[in-house]
Amino acid sequence: MNRPASLPAPGPLVLAALIFIAALSRVLPHPPNFSPIEAVALFGGAYFASRRWALLVPLAAMFASDLALGLANGGIYWDYFASAGYLLVYACIALSTLLGFGLRGKVNGSRVLGYSLAGSVLFFVVTNFGAWLGSPMYPQTPAGLAAAYVAGIPFFQWTVLGTLAYAALLFGGFALLRQRLPALHARTV
């Protein structure tokens, strides 16, 4: 049966729905830094045929989840929107989406694992550099930079675990959906 021309293709809608659901899971209780941030970016980069949508959908989903967290948590979270850290997180999302382009047409378990680890390291390096650069807590010296990275180590394990868990759910779940829905069989949708 042919789809009417006025209806959008189901592939991009399914991708966007999976990304938004994963992003909104951030409102559920979780360990610090156990989040879908890097996984949704890699997933969008790997599967959206349009590079523009690959970048925009993960950014929009994370913004929607940030708004939900701001409404749920109030003042502390709203202050986050005014910080440089906020912009660095969104820069990491964009960079990880670009990283995800390397998975296009080549998605398998070991590649998703490698890219997930690379995205987690990218997030750690960029956000802790930002913490050092923008915080009076750390002196603007090599020792201060090292202290910022050391302070971030306990959170890094959760970043890695969160990225791996959400990557497994997104990439694995989408692989299962593709087996059941012929409209999703294209390399990118």
Predicted model pTM: 0.89
Q: How confident is the model at residue 173 (pLDDT cuts 50, 70, 90)?
A: very high
Do 188 and 105 touch, CB atoms closer than 8 A? yes
Give percent above pLDDT 70 in the chain: 91
Q: What is the pLDDT of residue 174?
A: 93
The stretch 9-13 carries a mean pLDDT of 79
Asked if pLDDT for residue 7 goes beyond 60, the answer is no
pLDDT in tens, 101-140: 999 999 999 999 999 999 999 999 999 999 898 788 899 9
Query: Could you state, in order of their start, the residue ranges of all structural domains in the chain?
Result: 20-182
